[in-house]
Amino acid sequence: MTGTVARRPGRVPAAVVSAALLAAAVAGCEKDTAAGRNAGGEVRYPTKTVQLMVPAAPGGGWDLTARTMQKAMTDGKLVEQPVEVYNVTGAAGTVGLAQLVSKNSGDPHHLMVMGLVMVGGVVANKSPVKLDQVTPIATLTAEQEVIVVPAASKYRTLKQLMDDAKADPASVNWGGGSAGGTDQILVGLLAKAAGADPKAMKYVAYSGGGESKAALLSGDLTAAVSGQSEFADLVASGKVRALAVSGATGIDVGGGSPAPTIKQQGYDVELMNWRGVVAPPGLDEPTRQAVTGLVDRLHSSDAWRAVLQQQGWEDFYRSGDDAAAYFAAENQRITAVLTDIGLG
Amino acid sequence: MNVFGDLLGGFGTVLSPEYLLYAAIGVTLGTFVGVLPGIGPALTIALLLPVTFSLDDPIGTFIMFAGIYYGAMYGGSTTSILLNTPGESASVATAIEGHQMARRGRAKAALATAAVGSFVAGTISTLLLSLFAQPVARLATTFRAADYFALALLAMVAVTALVGRSLVRGLMSLVFGLFLALVGIDGLTGQARFTFGTMELLEGVDVVVVIVGLFAIGETLYVAARLGHLPEHVRPLEPGSARDGWMTRDDWRRSWRPWLRGTAVGFPFGALPSGGADVPTFLSYTYEKHRAKNRDEFGKGAIEGVAGPEAANNAAFSGVLVPLLTLGIPTSATAAVMLAAFQIFNLQPGPQLFDNSPELVWALIASLYVGNVLLLVLNLPLIRVWVKVLQIPRPVLYAGILVFATLGVYAATGSVNQVFLAYAIGVVGFGMRHFDFPIAPVILGLILGPMLELQFRRALLVSNGDLTTFVSRPLTAGLLALAVLALAVPYLPRVVARLRGRRPEEEPRKLVFAEDD
């Protein structure tokens, strides 16, 4: 009987592949003790493989961030042990968040990449696990948001668009990523700043940037909101026009010259789609500082600098108490605006 | 700009030993991974994304990805045909007739028509991609939410008007699929539906989990329940059939038209944003069944029912590349992963890509031709190896399927809960088989349901609730008219006969999704 099985050549490599997949996934669930300490009471960290959780599918912004961290840490010899990246998908990262809190509590060798999207996801999905339950480590990078209209649109400035949106909300179709995500948050903040009713804004949610691009080009949408690089090629080719970016300083989003910021056009709104890293709850102070120290070293490494440059990510570094304060402030602001929109 | 000059340049790049090796690795890897239930092309490519970080060669990476896609698609068809365990939605239609052929000792012919059909469709659609990428992309972006709704409705009507011997059973299966599609976060409002307050269901029920559950696990349970009544081996190859069961002259004659028609359906559907490979495979299956002369053979292993859908699913991939390369719009899971890969190399697909990185684009397109040829070269000889799988004693074979199905679901979702869910759905699949419910409509509901619902609500949202949005544009109105027509046509002969004052001679022949599916 075994002879028959062995005569299935195709199945053997397949089995090896899936066994490897399984091994990688199982390794992610491993649980262990806190960091080691030397005689002086100083915390040695990391003392074993660092597990970096991506609370989303492979291929997205968080995934890219985590794999870049992994490469920079390993290439820059910041850690002697390997760094492993694994994905836990689901619900704007809140499934991963729940897992970090329930399964990895007190284990500094489990870290999780997260960002603004998760802040919104916790509110919009009414996640039972909140962000203030984890240990903030740092914010790393940020991308601006961009507001675009089709080339043939009558809107040339953000003000014209907002005036119409305020006077007749039904006349403007906003579009962007998933409900309660960064794009809708920006629309809500803008409406609030312009004195319009955030709840009245017509926001059409699409999965991923591609669908909203198609909808903008086909005429379903008046304006689309997206990450800074998503529409770069369409802007460069003149198919769409960028009205504003959401950061503190204007950046080039494909048009060849910096697009104006929302603030420059008279609305007091600044929104960065930032990404950062958190540790599980239950770390003592020295351990927390040791983890923060590792991320500090990562941030100042040459490998990390090079990647920021290459990916066009803005350096948005805050660590330790700064990060904790920033997380809290963002949490408050995002909760407020999502409540205004009616998703809170 | 000279398309052929550019394309030749692309071939010049691809036909180097190094890139040919990448393509061969891709096709091989794709085929072997693709035979695992649950692991389709999108997941394979996603799992390999980290590798591209160290590869540092965009051209080599994309050549490999194209190979993986074709390989995984074909690998999925192999298990669909041999074991009735499709791994992703695009192989479900293939499984219907393909497995019946395998059960009747025609596995080799089924695998061959799938391989040759994939090659023909892949080559023709790549040619279409080379020549008409820009105009097709322009056309695709004229589709609005209302049009997508009309299109999804047309697809639904075209396929479901023909589901099952028992309309009631077919509809119940469909409704089950539609219900599963509702579970999870609502795309437009972000509110949870049917999650019973659990985090695990927020993401909804993955179509892969359902397919593996209904087919691989359901089939295993069903076989296990009847093990005493079945011969020990699944199916010895039919002895004495023409040239050991390879495609006969008659098979070729019956296959080539479905190949071409499948290509004609697959390419445009792939090119539409929110298209993909699954809907055209079902349409192709239905169409082949509808117009076949020997309709009685459908459900018992008609080769047309394999040739058409297989061609459609390969043609769809070139279609998917149209909006991806020209506008940066991903229309399928695989395309979304490929878009991420572009971004890793700091390339933004869009109107500028053909001008900014012509070498990459044309090398990618050329690699599609090469990948197709390699697929054929690799898989035709492999067919005789694959069919040996059927000689494994049933208990061992199905135990193996169960192991691979479990691994596949776990690898695809990374969650034990999803594995339990797949098993629960497997039990449902067992029940459906036992009580003679068709399986395919469930998948259909799961795929088309969300499209129908989301696009209908989006269309109403952008038009401020004005229902006339569905008839105010010629494209929407035309598609809806076609849908009505598709619904009415099967009943026309009866109506006409009655109008003429005669009794209908025979019941309109309802088409059947696999006689003993």
The tens digit of pLDDT for each residue in A3-20 reads 333 333 333 344 444 444
Between chain A and chain B, how many beta carbons pairs sit less than 8 Å apart?
198
Banded pLDDT at B54 (limits 50, 70, 90): low
Residues of chain B by 3-state class (helix, strand, coil), percent to 5: 75, 0, 25
pLDDT, position B510: 46
Going by C-alpha positions, the residue among B95, B167, B94 that lies closest to residue B490 is B167
Q: What is the CATH number of the domain that holds A216?
A: 3.40.190.10
B275 vs B389, higher pLDDT: B389
| Cα A84 to Cα A69: distance, rounded to the nearest angstrom | 10
Q: What integer best gives the mean pLDDT of chain A?
A: 80
A51 and chain B: CB distance < 8 Å anywhere?
A: no
Among candidate residues B272, B298, B269, B268, the one with its CA nearest the CA of residue B286: B298
Looking at chain B, the whole-number percentage of residues with pLDDT higher than 70 is 90
Residues A175 and A152 reside in one and the same domain = yes
A263 and A149 in a single domain? The answer is yes
- B47, B331, B348 ranked by CB distance to A233: nearest: B348
Q: Is residue B511 part of a domain?
A: no
Same domain, A180 and A207: yes
Does A205 contact B at CB distance below 8 Å?
A: yes
Task: Provide the number of structural domains found in chain A.
Answer: 2
Cα(B488)–Cα(A309) distance, integer angstroms? 60
Residues A232 and A333 occupy one common structural domain: no
pLDDT of amino acid B319: 85
A317 φψ region: left (φ > 0), alpha (ψ -120 to 50), beta (else) = beta
Last residue of a domain, one of A240, A272, A304: A272
Q: Rounded to an integer, what distance in angstroms lies between the CA atom of residue A129 and that of residue A119? A: 11
Measured between CA atoms, how close is A140 to chain B, in angstroms? 18
Question: Closest approach of chain A CAs to the CA of B346, in angstroms?
Answer: 6
Structural domain contains residue B499: no
Chain B nearest C-alpha distance from A47 (Å): 24
For residue A16, the model assigns a pLDDT of 41
With contacts defined as CB-CB under 8 Å, which chain A residues touch B199? 90-91, 94-95, 98, 127-128
Is B516 within a domain? no
Would you say A207 and A179 are in contact if contact means Cβ atoms under 8 Å apart? no
Q: Same domain, yes or no, for A292 and A318?
A: yes
What's the complex ipTM? Answer: 0.76
Which are the contacts of B289, defined by CB distance < 8 A and separation ≥ 6? Answer: B162, B295, B298, B302, B304, B305, B511
Q: Domain check: are A260 and A337 in the same one?
A: no
**Band of residue B428 on the pLDDT scale cut at 50, 70, 90:** very high
Q: Based on the domain organization, do A267 and A304 belong to the same domain?
A: no
Any alpha helices (H) in B230-297, and if so which ranges? 249-271, 278-291
Same domain, A168 and A204: yes
Residue numbers in B near A202 (CB within 8 A): 461-462, 464
Given A217, A251, A272, which residue is the final one in a domain?
Answer: A272
For residue B398, the chain A residues in CB contact (below 8 A) are none
- For chain A, helix, strand, coil in percent to 5 are 45, 20, 35
Residue B333 forms part of a structural domain: yes
- Give residue for tokens 């999870």: B184
Mean pLDDT of B70-84: 85
Domain identity same for A83 and A147: no
Residue matched to tokens 């092309």: B41
Identify the pLDDT of residue A19. Answer: 43
Residue type, A47: T
Domain that holds residue B77: 3-232+244-491
Q: Is A183 domain-assigned?
A: yes
Interchain contact, A214 vs B273, CB within 8 Å = yes
Cβ–Cβ below 8 Å for B188 and A205: yes
> How does residue B270 score in pLDDT terms, banded at 50, 70 and 90?
confident
Domains held by chain B: number: 1
| Rounded-to-integer distance, Cα A137 and Cα A52, Å | 13
Task: Give the whole-number percent of chain B exceeding pLDDT 90.
Answer: 5
The model's confidence at residue B53, banded by pLDDT at 50, 70 and 90, is low
B404 with A25: Cβ contact below 8 A: no
The reply to whether A151 and A266 lie within a common domain is: yes
> Nearest residue on chain B to A98, judged by CA atoms?
B199
- Say yes or no for a CB contact (<8 Å) between B190 and A60: no
Domain that holds residue A249: 143-272
Query: Does the residue B79 lie in any domain?
Result: yes
- Whose CA is closest to A100, among A58, A126, A131, A77? A131
Domain shared by A266 and A204, yes or no: yes
A7 touches chain B (CB under 8 A): yes
In this structure, are residues A244 and A265 in contact, taking their beta carbons and an 8 Å threshold?
A: yes
User: Which stretches does DSSP call E strand in B165-288?
Assistant: 184-185, 192-193
Residue A291 included in any domain? yes
Residue whose pair of structure tokens reads 């053979």 in the numeric block = B297
DSSP annotation of B393 reads: B
Contact call for B141 and A178, based on CB within 8 A = no
Reported as a single tens digit per residue, the pLDDT across A24-59 is 444 444 334 445 555 455 677 787 888 888 887 766
Flag the least confident range among A62-71, A201-210, B49-58, B241-250. B241-250
Q: Identify whether the C-beta of residue B149 lies closer than 8 Å to the C-beta of residue B112.
A: no
> If 0-12 CB within 10 Å is exposed, 13-18 middle and 19+ buried, where does residue B515 land?
middle
Q: Cis link prior to A128 (omega < 30° from 0)?
A: no
Best of B83, B148, B329 to mutate (most A CBs within 10 Å, chain A): B329
Count H helices and E strands in chain A, helices first.
12, 12
Q: Is B24 within 8 Å of A33 (Cβ atoms)?
A: no
**B297 domain-assigned:** yes
Question: Helices in B35-142 by DSSP H: which ranges?
Answer: 41-55, 58-83, 92-103, 107-140
- Asked whether residue B513 is assigned to any structural domain, the reply reads no
Does residue B399 lie in a domain region? yes
Measured in degrees and rounded to the nearest 5, phi and psi for residue B18 equal -60, -50
Q: Which pLDDT score is estimated for B425? A: 94
- pLDDT of res. B421: 92
